[in-house]
Structure 1
Amino acid sequence: MNQNPQHPDGDRKDPEEIISAFLDGLLTEEESQEFLKRLKSDEASRELYLEMMNLDSMLQWEQGQTEPLPEEFCTPEIITQTEPAQDLKVASTRKQLAFTRYALAATLAVCVCLAMLLLMESQPAQAIARIDSSDGVPAAMIIEEHDAVWERTEWTQDVSKPLVPGWLKLKSGRALIDFLGGTTIALEGPAELGLNSDSRAYLKSGRLAVVGTSRNHDFTLTTANLTILSQSANFGLAVNPDNESELHVFDGSVQVTRSLSRPDEDIDQEQVPDQPILVEAGQAIVFNNQGREQNRLVADQETFPARSQFSVADPPGDIPAIDFASTKIEPYSFQDGQYELPTDYQLIENGKGIRLWGNAWKSVEVNQEITPDTVIEFDFRSSHQGQIHGFGFDIDREYNRENHTFQIYGYEAWSHIGQQFNTYSGTGWKRFRIRVGRYLTGKYRYLHFIADEDVIARAESQFRNVRIYEAPTQP
């Protein structure tokens, strides 16, 4: 909507001006919260917001359609292939249908976010892991192990299955755990770890390191007396049986807050939490069993488990890449070109790669038996970010939420798609090597590739050198 505000932030009076500033991201945090409260209680404001959101979306559509393709794709061959897709932009009613759906979804999302914020404000912070799980929604997966010995009790989980909120007890060895919210940790035994959710955990004892995060991702790690908030940082944490701990930050920064150790008892001055401490890369802090800082050190990454200790072995021999030139490429379910939006593809890299654009989901037949050691490897790049970029396996080319989709790029996070592989930076080619056999096993007939954008249909995905093979973890 790009309207220039005529008044200082605190002086906005007109509802249209407030909504326009909200859509343009010009409101302060306090003003945004007030606006969300108003949406919840004022039906007229909600209707006006929906109308203006629809108009804003229509403007984005019109602007997006006039933006040319990147120069590297403006060859006669590509222009010829793109023209049929342009014919789909025929009627404004189709645009209105798509964007009305988008506006409704956006309004619903605002209301849901508001409800979640109110719920969070009404709930006290918990420093212990939830042992029971009423919904059984997966929070993490164990994807690699090194001589891991797990203790099985009535309160620990079956580590061969997707992990729901609950407890893990590693007697010895090491394990690599993917939290579906986007964080990967290496756990070293003996250790007890509680899973709260796909982006929160509780280390009761032992040693771990956060060894990978997806872009712009927050992860919370708690102990008996500390709360550590990480914003895409890599760090190590050790907790001994006496609840003394060491925090070492290797990359990025974390914020540490002292937690109340006995929240059910009377609070005296000694139990009041300290101010948050910002710990940056290269720094380390030793905390006593009350969560108070005892000593400052230099971070030592060698004392914690590392991602390199869990590397997937190289392909056994020369594994041929998928030859897209000799493979039939078909639409995948209703997702391909959904809402009558443009969808197309072309072959690249002499048939060893494929480029998708628009709102495209394309499948090829692979007839693959997936085992726990099955790995998929490929190079990926994109010149325009959409909602979902990635791939998945299927038996019948009929999409449903139970089918496992792996997202590697995109600004939208679906609740049923993990974010742990959403790590593409937006520039150049990146090599992915993913052990898909930890997430699904069995016979799969199709492999599909995704460039999903059902708002303005300008997503672009390129895949090349796609190989599927069996490989154990490196010893």
Structure 2
Amino acid sequence: MNINSHDHEEQKDPQQIISAFLDGLLTEEENLSFLASLESDEATRNLFLEMMNTDSLLQWEQGQTEPLPDLIHASSEINADTTNIDPGVVSARKQLAMMRYALGATIAICVCLAGLLIMESHPTPAVAQFDSSDGVPAAMIIEEHDAVWEQTEWTQDVSKPLVPGWLKLKSGRALIDFLGGTTIALQGPAALGLNANNRAYLKSGRLAVVGTSRTHEFTLTTENLTILSQSANFGLIVNPEKQAELHVFEGSVTVSQSQSQPDEQPTQNQVSVPVDSIKVEAGQSIIFDQSGQEVARQLANRSEFPTRSQFSVADPPGDIPAINFAEYQIKPYSFQDGQYELPTDYQLIEQGKGLRLWGNAWKMIEINREITPDTVIEFDFRCAHEGQIHGFGFDSDNEYDARTNYVFQIYGYEVRPGIGQQFNTYSGTDWKRFRIRVGRYHVGKQRYLYFLADEDVIARAESQFRNVRIYEAPTNQ
């Protein structure tokens, strides 16, 4: 089918035009005209997708009527004697090529149309374009104090994962855990953009980075500044005139003027220090003007910012007994325990009030407990041999699934997708106390509590847990 002019194309039946496009019979100008009609006409788009789906199925079925010959062998036979070409071979090849072309074209067009529809429904914001994959959790709100939120498309409740987007806090305070390992205390009124699990954008308001897990990079940007932190604790204020105040409390940060507009921010994987940067040490504070130029230096003032202690989980109500592991049957947890036929074992310690794992061990006990938003677990932990992942979790069916079973990692050198690093803070070999409000991450009826010392390489990991308590507790107000 040949269509020689745009006018003639408009007179054709839409099905004929689409058929010609699929057959590769349109000219370049006609292709452009047809693609423009796909962008503007919903009926044409729906018809195209329907015909494309049908065409692809037919191409697939026809291409499977007889097996394709070895292409190299067939090529040598064709070159040797063109009179012996098997029409079925040529037809099959043509069908396969057409199918690949059609599917490729469909994907390209659908991506283009999706982009256009997104741009139409969500105009490009004046600040902060979010650069993480759609739907990938970046952070969680784990605690609120008198928080009043402005409803946005991305705002979610406590205990639900936050994907990249805007959080607009009208008043009150909120504690936000970035799954890359950084904890932020946000004070309203404030507008915070979540870019990724280790990157955020403060449009206005004040916040304090109040906790990080071991050595960890976190990038905080404003309209004019880029702040790169290596496990530092610091505060930042951006006022309505876009002036900024940076106060460093622990560690140090590197600050530079933003090198691009906010909607052209680097992707989450770019962590290099921008040019013309300055290093700000603990105890120092710098005031910047609207353009990101340094105006004055002074001493850091922690009292101007929310603190971690304002959000701490309260002490247990009354005397909560520790789990006596001697009263439980210690069982292997799912397929993870001893995976790859590696050694796994455990022993009771601390007169039954503790559990030691080693090898490639995932062990569980049956607790049959309802986890609520106020459920807290606390325990002591120590380790003499670091493995890939040390931690604990809850499960209802003894079937581990990385997509649905949240592992609370507290130690280990492996960073695995889907496992947040905000509690991966253990170092050394002495006992360390953990108190985690697990109900902010995991709720519902849970049958098992499991502990792990995961090491899939040489199976030398060790985890020791003692004085494990689970209870319901409010926060300090």
Is the structural similarity TM-score above 0.5?
yes
1:437-461 CA-to-partner distances (Å, cap 9, x unmatched) read 1111110000000000010000000
Q: How does 1:326-337 map to 2 (within 5 A)?
A: 326-337=327-338
Q: In the alignment, what sits opposite 1:381?
A: 382
Q: What is the deviation of 1:462?
A: 0.2
1:16-55 pair list within 5 angstroms: none
Determine the structure 1 residue equivalent to 2:424: 422
**Deviation string, structure 1 residues 180-219 (Cα, Å, up to 9, x no partner):** 0000000000000000000000000000000000011000
Q: Is the 8 A contact 2:377 2:437 kept in 1?
A: yes
Q: What do the CA deviations read for 1:89-124 (whole angstroms, capped 9, x no partner)?
A: xxxxxxxxxxxxxxxxxxxxxxxxxxxxxxxxxxxx
Task: Report runs of 4+ in structure 1 exceeding 3 Å deviation.
Answer: 126-134, 260-265
- 1:390 & 1:304 partners in 2: Cα distance? 32
Please list, as runs of the form range in 1=range in 2, the aligned pairs for 1:11-410 lying within 5 A after superposition: 128-130=127-129, 135-153=134-152, 155-160=153-158, 161-260=160-259, 262=261, 275-401=276-402, 402-410=404-412
Q: Are 1:411 and 2:413 matched, yes or no?
A: yes
2:162 match: secondary structure: coil
- Aligned positions, number: 342
Amino acid at match of 2:257: R
- Tell me, in whole angstroms, the C-alpha distance in 2 between the residues paired with 1:421 and 1:170: 25
Is the contact made by 1:129 and 1:166 (CA closer than 8 Å) also made in structure 2? no
Per the alignment, residue 439 of structure 1 pairs with: 441
1:305 deviates by 0.6
Percent identical pairs in the alignment equals 76
CA RMSD of aligned residues (A): 1.8
Amino acid at match of 2:237: A
Taking the aligned partners of 1:252 and 1:302, their CA distance within structure 2 comes to: 18
Alignment check: 8 A CA contact 1:255 1:276 kept: yes
Contact 1:127 1:227 in 2 (8 A): no
Gaps of 5+ in 1: 1-125, 266-272
User: Residue 346 of structure 1: SS of its match in structure 2?
Assistant: strand
Name the CA distance, whole Å, in 2 between partners of 1:457 and 1:127.
51
* 1:237-287 CA distance string (max 9 Å, x none): 00001110000000000000101465899xxxxxxx861000010111000
Structure 2 CA distance for aligned equivalents of residues 132 and 244 of structure 1 = 25
Cα pair distance change 1:411/1:319, threshold 3 Å: same
Give unmatched runs, 5+ long, in structure 2. Answer: 1-124, 265-273
The answer (yes or no) to whether the contact 2:130–2:196 under 8 Å persists in 1 is: no
Q: Match of 1:334, SS?
A: helix
TM-score between the two structures when normalised by the length of structure 1: 0.70
Q: CA contact under 8 A between 1:138 and 1:164: conserved in structure 2?
A: yes
Q: Indicate if the aligned counterparts of 1:256 and 1:279 stay in contact, CA closer than 8 A.
A: yes
Distance 1:437 1:263, change over 3 A: closer
* Contact 2:398–2:448 (8 Å) recurs in 1: yes
Give the corresponding residue for 2:38: none
> Is the Cα–Cα contact under 8 Å of residues 283 and 300 in structure 2 kept in the other structure?
yes
The answer to whether the 8 A contact 1:224-1:261 is kept is no
One-letter identity of the residue aligned with 1:206: G
Aligned partner of 1:3 in structure 2 is none
* Alpha-carbon distance between aligned partners in 2 of 1:375 and 1:208, rounded to the nearest angstrom: 25
- Verify the 8 A CA contact 2:129 2:263 in the aligned structure 1: no
Secondary structure at the counterpart of residue 350 of structure 1: helix
Aligned equivalents of 1:441, 1:139: Cα separation in 2: 19
1:4 equivalent in structure 2: none
Measured at CA, do residues 384 and 244 of structure 1 come closer, stay the same or move farther in structure 2, by a change above 3 Å?
same
CA distance in 2, matches of 1:157, 1:172: 15
Aligned-partner residue type, residue 173 of structure 1: G
